[in-house]
Amino acid sequence: MAADFDLSSSFIPALHKPSSLLPIARHRKNILYLIDTFPVTIIVGQTGSGKTTQVPQFLNQARWTADGKVIGVTQPRRVAATTVAARVAEEVGCKLGEEVGYSIRFEDLTSVKTHIKFVTDGLLLREALADPLLSKYSVVMVDEAHERSLSSDILLGVLKKIRKKRPDLRIVVSSATLQAEGILNFFSSKTHAIDGSDTQLAIGRIISLEGRMYPVDIHYLRDPAEDYLEEVVKTVFEIHSSEPEGDILAFLTGREEIDVALKMITDRSLALHPKAPSVLALPLYAGLTSEQQLSVFDLAPENTRKVIVSTNIAEASVTIDGIIYVIDCGFVKLRAYNPLTGIETLTPTPVSKASAIQRAGRAGRTKPGKCYRLYTERAYDALTEATVPEIQRSNLAPVILQLKALGIDNILRFDFLTPPPAELVTRALELLYSLGALDDYAKLTRPIGIRMAELAVEPMMAKVLLEAPSMGCLSEILSIAAMTSLQGSVWFEGSDGRKGQETSRRKFAAEEGDHLTLLNVYETFITKGRKESRWCRENHLNFKSMTRAVSVRNQLRRYLERLGVQVEESLAPGQKQKVDGNDRAVRIRRCLTTGYFVHAARMQPDGTFKTVNESVTLHAHPSSLMFNRKADWVIFHELMETGEKTFIRDVTKIEKNWLLEGGSGEYYQLKDGSRSKTAGV
């Protein structure tokens, strides 16, 4: 019956292309048989073959959810979790949140009716805190396992443990590459104890979906690009003016870059001949609204070429039909953690060969395509084979805190898919110790450590939240925590460019730095702008982000109340500030220092900053209040590297002696003015 559909007809929107035509359809029986028979099933298939959207539906129809159990599907990224959930809900024919839902940090769109639940891998780990055997799930599918995200890796280890206590649990691992073998070995290996008579054959099987791939012509640059962003835009128009129809997918590294590129593309497309085909440029990155995310799947209007400018998310987790041309800037934003300085960065890094190949493959899904690599062939040859798993280059403090809370005390003996380097583990233990989450025996402290693990924010912010009641500023810290958790800036550029934004920002500016400025913004929004998007527009504030901050704050508040922490909301900001404005600001800054002492820096005579051990030079980000201002000691929320410079964002002035209080005192030993850092363990 599928043959009745004429696929080339533009009358059939992509959304209604029958799923029976996907490569996975022919494997349905076999996949169900394997999952029925074996504890672990590994599905390998090219991106777009239907793993993410179809397997959960197969399972649902095969009554894996009959007794109220849930099929959980993890995604390494929030955007992927929400877009695929929306897609599957559409295929199933239900409203999102009913039979099909998703759950990501601070956002839960599921109900008692939900049978298929998409979650981020990090969130499923968090669920294990409350339900250690993940007992509500009949099947857990760890999707995109080839990406080797930190939380997926840990989750696989935790699932291996759970499986021993829950033989009925089915584990499905899906991967776009053949690293699958290693994963099956991992599940069948008997690690430490005597473990029955598992053999690899008894534990599971690998199934490969042969996906069809059309040839992709690869083009390299003759000379290295000076500015890959400019080069992306140039290439878009070269393709547009000289190549036959077909949509373009361009990879850049992050939201800022993508926004700039979109603006450039839109500006330049105005110069196209009025009768020539036009260009419709669309962004795809985390932090877009769901409607924006889904609009990349819409067919472009007639006589229009769609250009999607995306982060790495379109490399494997999200598939868009109709792509014939791929532009690969050659970079991806990767997390990197320096155990010596304790500083974590998110830096554009050259992609691996595996990534470059995967990106190029996005062009050959429906017919032969072309891939433009914006680097030389020599540069390609010099790329590493595969990306280093996140677990080997991340700050491990958050996951170690989680593992400890799950009762896994001996981190070194935990069954890692790939063990992390010892210095990363040591450093994480040191940090958790100085935050008061671990005791001298590296055991989770009560109640602080347990509570830190329960709060859905990173350990430094968790510590600050838990200290806040005793410092009389919990209400304020909650607002600050919510504001700093937003992805991207709350400010937007108006039609008047940067200028208007600057003026608005100055209205809310607090002398002491960005955190208090964010607090001013939040408190004014609550009293003046909550119901009015106009107020936000006039102040160059993103209404959606602000609304989100309110909801995040409510959730954090609920988490705290569940832990038995009472939240007393402060008086209306105007009143409060008059009474003890100065004192209030001091308490807040002091409280922030109890968690963020690791992120302390001192301003140098030339206006740059140095970390405490003077090993790293930092620059205030142009969006920070501390840009071009005088300060001495500061703490900062996060770090970003672009090109040669390391920027700090959300910066607040502090007093040097606050660094000597509490756990931070042990973390830093400041001797006779010479700043030497010794570890706190």
22 binds, among ligand ADP, Mg ion, none (CB under 5 to 8 A by kind): ligand ADP
What tokens appear for 563 in the block?
């832990």
Between 186 and 297, name the residue whose CB sits nearer to ligand ADP. 297
Give the residues across from 306 on adjacent strands: 280
Tell me if 55 sits within 8 A of 141, measured CB to CB: yes
User: By Cβ distance, which residue is nearest to Mg ion?
Assistant: 52
Minimum CB distance to Mg ion, residue 144 (Å): 6
Q: Which residues bind Mg ion (CB under 5 A)?
A: 52
Nearer to Mg ion, 52 or 349 (CB): 52
In the complex with Mg ion, the residue whose CB is nearer, 52 or 479, is 52
Q: What is the DSSP code (8-state) at residue 445?
A: P
Tell me how far CA of residue 99 lies from CA of 53, 102, 141, 183, 583, in angstroms: 14, 10, 17, 30, 51
How far apart, in whole angstroms, are the C-alpha atoms of residue 660 and residue 669? 8
| Cβ at position 141, least distance to Mg ion in Å | 10
Q: Which residues bind ligand ADP (CB under 6 A)?
A: 14-15, 22, 45, 47-54, 83, 87, 297, 319, 321
In the list Mg ion, ligand ADP, none, the entry touching 152 (Cβ below 5 to 8 angstroms by class) is none
When CB distances are held under 5 to 8 angstroms depending on the partner's kind, the choice from Mg ion, ligand ADP, none that residue 137 binds is none
Q: Which does 473 bind (CB under 5 to 8 A by kind): ligand ADP, Mg ion, none?
A: none
Instruction: For the CB of residue 213, give the shortest distance to ligand ADP in the complex, in Å.
Output: 13
* 319 binds, options Mg ion, ligand ADP, none, Cβ within 5 to 8 A by partner type: ligand ADP
* Closer residue to Mg ion (CB): 44 or 591: 44
Residue 247 near residue 304 (C-beta atoms within 8 A): no
Q: What is the torsional sign of CA 440, 444, 450, 455?
A: positive
Q: Which amino acid is at 402?
A: Q
Q: How far is the CB of 58 from Mg ion (least distance, A)?
A: 14
Q: Which is nearer to Mg ion, 15 or 66 (CB)?
A: 15
Question: Rounded distance, CA 498 to CA 15, Å?
Answer: 39
Residue 638 contacts by C-beta under 8 Å, 6 or more apart in sequence? 599, 648, 649, 650
Q: Which is nearer to ligand ADP, 315 or 458 (CB)?
A: 315
> Considering beta carbons, is residue 79 or 455 the nearer one to Mg ion?
79
Residue 61 neighbours by CB under 8 Å, 6+ apart: none
Rg (CA), the chain: 26
* Angle at alpha carbon of residue 258, lines to 255 and 262, rounded to 5°: 140
- From the CB of 502, what's the least distance to ligand ADP, in Å? 38
Between 52 and 151, CB nearer to Mg ion: 52
By a kind-dependent CB cut-off of 5 to 8 A, residue 83 interacts, out of Mg ion, ligand ADP, none, with: ligand ADP
Nearer to Mg ion, 134 or 314 (CB): 314
Q: How far is the CB of 604 from ligand ADP (least distance, A)?
A: 49
Would you say 415 and 156 are in contact if contact means Cβ atoms under 8 Å apart?
A: no
39 binds, among ligand ADP, Mg ion, none (CB under 5 to 8 A by kind): none
Alpha carbons 369 and 327: distance in angstroms, whole number? 11
**Bridge-based pairing state of the strands 600-603 and 633-642:** antiparallel
CB atoms within 10 A of CB 668: 21
CB–CB of 430/447 below 8 Å?
no
Q: Is the dihedral of CA 248, 251, 255, 256 positive or negative?
A: negative
548 touches which of ligand ADP, Mg ion, none (CB within 5 to 8 A by kind)? none
Is the CB of residue 338 less than 8 Å from the CB of residue 396?
no
Q: Which two tokens stand for residue 429?
A: 């233990």
Smallest gap, in angstroms, from Cβ of residue 96 to ligand ADP?
Answer: 12
Min separation Cβ 664 and Mg ion, Å: 43
Q: Give the residue among 143, 153, 149, 147 at the shortest CA–CA distance from 118.
A: 143
In whole angstroms, the minimum distance from the beta carbon of 89 to ligand ADP comes to 10
Amino acid, single-letter form, for residue 439: D
Residue 171's nearest CA partner among 197, 201, 203, 195 is 203
Residue 283's binding partner among ligand ADP, Mg ion, none (Cβ under 5 to 8 angstroms by kind) is none
Closer to ligand ADP at the Cβ: 296 or 332? 296
Q: How far is the CB of 122 from Mg ion (least distance, A)?
A: 18
Q: Which is nearer to ligand ADP, 47 or 138 (CB)?
A: 47
**CA 567 – CA 557 distance, rounded (Å):** 7
The partner in contact with residue 82, picked from ligand ADP, Mg ion, none with C-beta cut-offs of 5 to 8 angstroms by kind, is none
d(CA 206, CA 304): 42
**Least distance CB 316 / ligand ADP (angstroms):** 7
Minimal distance, residue 492 CB to ligand ADP, in Å:
26
Contact between residue 590 and residue 471 where contact means Cβ atoms under 8 Å apart: yes
Q: Scanning the structure block, which residue is given the tokens 């099987």? A: 205
> Which does residue 297 touch among ligand ADP, Mg ion, none (CB within 5 to 8 A, set by kind)?
ligand ADP
Q: Tokens at residue 19, please?
A: 């799923």
Closer of 46 and 138 to Mg ion (Cβ) = 46
Question: Bridge partners of 328?
Answer: 251, 373
321 binds, among Mg ion, ligand ADP, none (CB under 5 to 8 A by kind): ligand ADP
